Structure formats: structure tokens, C-alpha cells
């Protein structure tokens, strides 16, 4: 986290720096939580525009949680708590051709199972788990972004892992 020397971020260059720091994690957070149906990119942008409009009222320390809250609310306004299914993006493997058909089959099967299991996680678990696994964020960072304690993050991620393994085993 950068030091906040200024009283607000009503300055274009300060705003840009702030945007570059947080836009991507905000976008990822929205994506993990709500999937891509509701245009997480637009909502992330909207949240930043709201921040700019209210930059006098939002202190820099609060700015990050402000955009997360705003974006989250914008999403909630639209999301009717439908089930979120994230698409597994097949990672292109260069040694693709060397793999046996059985292995490919198995791999595809596992991928589908995982997709299903992840959609069964709670929102909180899914967000924390994917932030950790996909983005390699550490517990403390996640706790910071979500405004919860590290302990809670641990609990969510471990809970997610346990549940995923169980589900995959069963399927």
C-alpha cells in the first residue's frame, strides 16, 4: 500500500495512480463473486467514477473499501443471487499432442467436476479461494481487500479447499 500523503484524490494524477493500483483487483473480485454476466468491468469503472464524483468526501484510506463497496452494491442491484458459474479457461498446453486420449478425457472430466464444485461454494469462499489460488494473493492482502480479518480469510479458503475436495471425490 502506498502512503497517503494527500487529503483526497481529487487530483487527476493521484486518481490515475489509485486506479492502476486497484482496478484489476476490483475487477477480479467482482468476477469471482458474480461471474461475468453482469459486466463486472463496467461496474468497476462506474465505482471509480463515483469515487471521483465524491472524492472530496472519501478519504484516501477509505477510498479502496469505498470502491469495493460501491461496485459490490452496483452488482447486487442487478444480481438476483443467481448461481454463479465460472468458465474454466483451458490452459493451452504446448505438449498437447503428446497426451494420451485417456488422459485428455480424464482431464476434461476433472475440469467439469471442478467447475461444478466451485459453483457450489459460497460467494465468500469462492472469492477468497480464487483470489488466493488464481492471483496468488496472500491472506493478508485478501483480508485487506475484503475488509475482514486474516483469520476469516484462512477459514474461508481452507473451507473452500475442503469442500472442493469432498465434492470432486463424490462426483
Binding site for another protein (CB under 8 A): 12, 16, 19-20, 23-24, 27-28, 31-32, 36, 40-41, 44-45, 48-49, 52-53, 86-91, 110-111, 114, 118, 129-130, 132-134, 136, 138-139, 154, 157-158, 161, 164-165, 168
Size of the chain in residues: 171
Least Å distance, CB 30 to another protein, is: 9
The answer to whether 123 touches 129, Cβ cutoff 8 Å, is no
Least Å distance, CB 132 to another protein, is: 6
- Angle at CA 107, nearest 5°, toward 39 and 157? 55
Least Å distance, CB 166 to another protein, is: 11
**In this structure, what C-alpha cell is assigned to residue 101?**
486420449
- Please classify residue 101 by burial: count the beta carbons closer than 10 Å to its beta carbon, then call 0-12 exposed, 13-18 middle and 19+ buried: exposed
- Cβ proximity to another protein: between 16 and 123 the closer is 16
Amino acid at each position: 500500500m502506498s502512503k497517503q500523503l494527500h487529503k483526497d484524490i481529487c487530483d487527476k494524477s493521484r486518481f490515475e495512480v489509485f486506479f492502476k493500483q486497484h482496478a484489476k483487483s476490483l475487477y477480479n473480485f467482482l468476477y469471482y463473486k458474480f461471474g461475468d454476466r453482469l459486466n463486472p468491468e463496467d461496474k468497476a469503472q462506474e465505482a471509480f467514477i463515483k469515487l471521483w464524483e465524491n472524492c472530496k468526501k472519501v478519504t484516501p484510506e477509505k477510498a479502496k473499501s469505498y470502491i469495493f463497496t460501491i461496485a459490490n452494491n452496483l452488482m447486487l442491484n442487478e444480481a438476483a443471487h443467481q448461481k454463479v458459474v465460472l468458465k474454466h479457461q483451458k490452459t493451452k498446453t504446448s505438449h498437447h499432442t503428446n497426451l494420451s486420449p485417456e488422459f485428455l478425457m480424464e482431464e476434461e472430466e476433472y475440469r467439469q467436476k471442478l467447475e461444478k464444485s466451485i459453483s457450489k461454494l459460497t460467494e465468500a469462499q469462492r472469492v477468497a479461494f480464487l483470489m488466493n489460488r488464481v492471483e496468488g494473493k496472500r491472506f493478508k492482502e485478501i483480508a485487506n481487500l475484503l475488509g475482514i480479518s486474516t483469520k476469516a480469510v484462512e477459514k474461508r479458503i481452507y473451507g473452500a479447499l475442503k469442500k472442493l475436495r469432498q465434492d470432486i471425490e463424490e462426483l
